[in-house]
Structure 1
């Protein structure tokens, strides 16, 4: 019996039965590699519901008209609304035919005047077209941003008309503050016609041709859409017969939430949080305060800066960030572990003295766990290690009336000045000095600074669940897992 592994047959004998030196095969591979990563335009179709047909509504001289789709081939002679639509449209001033190649002339398309009312029952946001654009074209769709579409123009291509090569430009009057044009969408209405292919070219010379699936098909009930990046050049070839109608949209990207130089959150912090922050900020002049993030975030401290989590903040972390921004305080995120804090511009880089175990180390999977800020921030494979830094963990005395809020990570000067006033006590835990000092050296060599040497005041509630992620390290030939937290720091001037 012949054995098979998976769905691909396993053959014995030579490594390959295909002569890869064959010139035709090499050309095919070259063509494939040249285009596989150059997606700059996509297309698809949207069926028209029989119960909710696509209808255009427009008004010319005080009289409103409605034009339902799809249109029949003889609609030009039987629909008065279509004749009114054609009579109200104007030649596209951007296409006068004088720039046609090889001295040839062409008729420009007709466009609906922007000064006249025009609307349609087709809602681009009700279909996953923008999601498709985000997935297929915008591989750099940054967190904290969203897409929205603005109708640009309605064009009619009669027989003999076309457009020359051109590039879309954003309409200043329709751009929301802080947004920019990233793509365009062309919706071709179901009107029978022949020709009129949409040709799209990217800056690298790549070219795609799109023929609407509904062209020259009477009774077809689909809308054909084509999307392409904003830096692409496009043109519509000659319409040989019939009438090509299309609506074009500009797709814009805009930031929201805590990302960007001017944050625009989609929600407002509640009054209770703002009130508590107001009192805290008033009593914290010239101090740097910090709280642990409590949400769940998929990140690697060794690869990204802590501030890169800002667009991903969620739940109470996002609410607190927005509330702090309302008080105009300086806010930033920092990595912290084992009583040490990393600068804002540094990732968690743990140097090691054992390079032979690098391959084994890279196979370790980073884990993301939740729980209270542990007194032991570092675990060894197979057993728990106890870890503390004197003065780095503190809580209010149970006999005080200050509540359950705790303060930690206070510098020496701040601790002496405020400990009796606020009634907290420093908690200490058993320290394995001989085992932990070596790891401390590794952390310091990686750019971290002991919290005791800073003026950071870390505010924590008892049994508060915070985000933790593990960064593997090799110390004296053994695999270690350093538990890293994220501090949200804010400085009150």
Structure 2
């Protein structure tokens, strides 16, 4: 359920993968009823250790084996190679493309040259019929694109990055970044997002091509290229992965009211084939990884607790210096404490829980989330895994002392109840220890009667007790040592 670090490691595509097609061992009830097992043949798959029997009908003679020609083996080899390639490409996606449903007539490019004059370029453009004067000015202001090698047919151009340039196309109005996140970064942890920064505008005129461009070498994690609606032919974009994979994208400028975009990972290289006719113009964006949460690859929270909240938190830290304190969380996160660590909820904190976590981090402290129930607390690296019930009559735990009394679930228990003693034994067996032994001061708001007020987080763990399925209610504590 929990996310992992990004981006994932790349693995070279497999080229010799073998695929075994194994028939299903299930037998139709109708066939079983006719007792058609006289002529059975054993078959063993080369990839799994199952022995399967094929059933043939006694009404028909067994079909003679067909001799396989050279073409049959060639087709099978092609099938196996194609399957291996598809599986390898599926396991490691380094580039993706899509279309933006935009009317080209509503798109405008604004730029300013060194002379200080601002120009606007309207789309769509077909240079074979009419070349707008603003396009000539744009091309004249561009510089030759750096190439790797000297095999390019012509010079591609790019607009200087120090000159102002913008378009009326807003990426925020289209779910491009979400599509890139789901495809190229499927394991991106919660609380992280992709931030797009315009990189540069590139122009490849007729007869020119753009040689292989080395990775940018900055902090970007991916690049998005949007092909503007200018008619051209040829000029396919080729994206090469470090392991040798290749993807080709034609990018026909515009078609049926759509513009093409391509995204690829930052460690890939890109090049553009020669443009045979027209002019290819594209705008690239650098995608950087950001986070609005308090943890992750590059923690950079977007929220800041108010001064009022921080001023009230300061006396607590001053009076508990040198102690380990804990706060109850109040949000419900719908997880199973037996499957996930409490610390893995940090990117998903919401409401007041997120504000408190951010505030503690501002004081340069190291908070951690831990599971708690019935006066017990689990270590930060342990889940709530209660073992099997102890034998009947077990009144003492493994340390030889009588367990502390406490409330679990929704049912009240007394100190001498064998049921609660048994449950306490199971909790201790899973690694939990009493809060008193952990030397943790639990900070909670209490009313005049001494009972705790307010709501707290409640997550539930399935628990088998006396042959019945119950649920153990578990809370979440934010634990921090005040240095």
Tell me, yes or no, whether TM beats 0.5.
yes
User: C-alpha separation between the residues in 2 aligned to 1:442 and 1:485?
Assistant: 17
Query: Partner residue of 1:52?
Result: 106
Any gaps of 5 or more consecutive residues in structure 1?
A: 1-9, 172-179, 355-374, 379-383, 388-429
Query: Partner residue of 1:337?
Result: 373
User: C-alpha separation between the residues in 2 aligned to 1:165 and 1:152?
Assistant: 17
User: Number of paired residues?
Assistant: 397
- For residues 48-447 of structure 1, what are the structure 2 equivalents within 5 Å? 48-49=102-103, 52-74=106-128, 78-92=131-145, 94-95=146-147, 97-98=149-150, 100=151, 105-171=152-218, 180-214=219-253, 221-260=257-296, 263-352=299-388, 376-378=407-409, 385-387=411-413, 430-447=414-431
Normalised to the residue count of structure 1, the TM-score between the two structures is: 0.73
User: C-alpha separation between the residues in 2 aligned to 1:155 and 1:66?
Assistant: 17
CA contact (8 A) 1:187 1:248 kept: yes
User: Taking structure 1 as reference, are residues 96 and 253 closer, same or farther at Cα in structure 2, changes over 3 Å only?
Assistant: closer
Query: Partner residue of 1:460?
Result: 444
User: Taking structure 1 as reference, are residues 479 and 197 closer, same or farther at Cα in structure 2, changes over 3 Å only?
Assistant: same
User: C-alpha separation between the residues in 1 aligned to 2:220 and 2:360?
Assistant: 31
User: Taking structure 1 as reference, are residues 302 and 341 closer, same or farther at Cα in structure 2, changes over 3 Å only?
Assistant: same
User: C-alpha separation between the residues in 2 aligned to 1:222 and 1:262?
Assistant: 35
CA contact (8 A) 1:97 1:107 kept: no
More strand by share: 1
Deviation at residue 133 of structure 1 after TM alignment? 0.6
User: C-alpha separation between the residues in 1 aligned to 2:235 and 2:122?
Assistant: 22
User: C-alpha separation between the residues in 2 aligned to 1:72 and 1:27?
Assistant: 42
240-249 or 198-207: which moved more? 198-207
CA contact (8 A) 2:235 2:273 kept: yes
CA contact (8 A) 1:473 1:480 kept: yes
User: Taking structure 1 as reference, are residues 490 and 256 closer, same or farther at Cα in structure 2, changes over 3 Å only?
Assistant: same
User: Taking structure 1 as reference, are residues 119 and 458 closer, same or farther at Cα in structure 2, changes over 3 Å only?
Assistant: same
Query: Partner residue of 1:470?
Result: 460
CA contact (8 A) 2:94 2:264 kept: yes
Query: Partner residue of 2:449?
Result: none
SS in 2 for 1:208: strand
CA contact (8 A) 1:197 1:236 kept: yes
User: C-alpha separation between the residues in 1 aligned to 2:312 and 2:366?
Assistant: 18
User: C-alpha separation between the residues in 1 aligned to 2:243 and 2:388?
Assistant: 45
Query: Partner residue of 1:450?
Result: 434
Any gaps of 5 or more consecutive residues in structure 2?
A: 1-27, 32-53, 57-65, 67-72, 391-405, 446-451
User: C-alpha separation between the residues in 1 aligned to 2:354 and 2:348?
Assistant: 8
Deviation at residue 316 of structure 1 after TM alignment? 0.8
Query: Partner residue of 2:395?
Result: none
User: Taking structure 1 as reference, are residues 475 and 309 closer, same or farther at Cα in structure 2, changes over 3 Å only?
Assistant: same
User: Taking structure 1 as reference, are residues 51 and 208 closer, same or farther at Cα in structure 2, changes over 3 Å only?
Assistant: closer
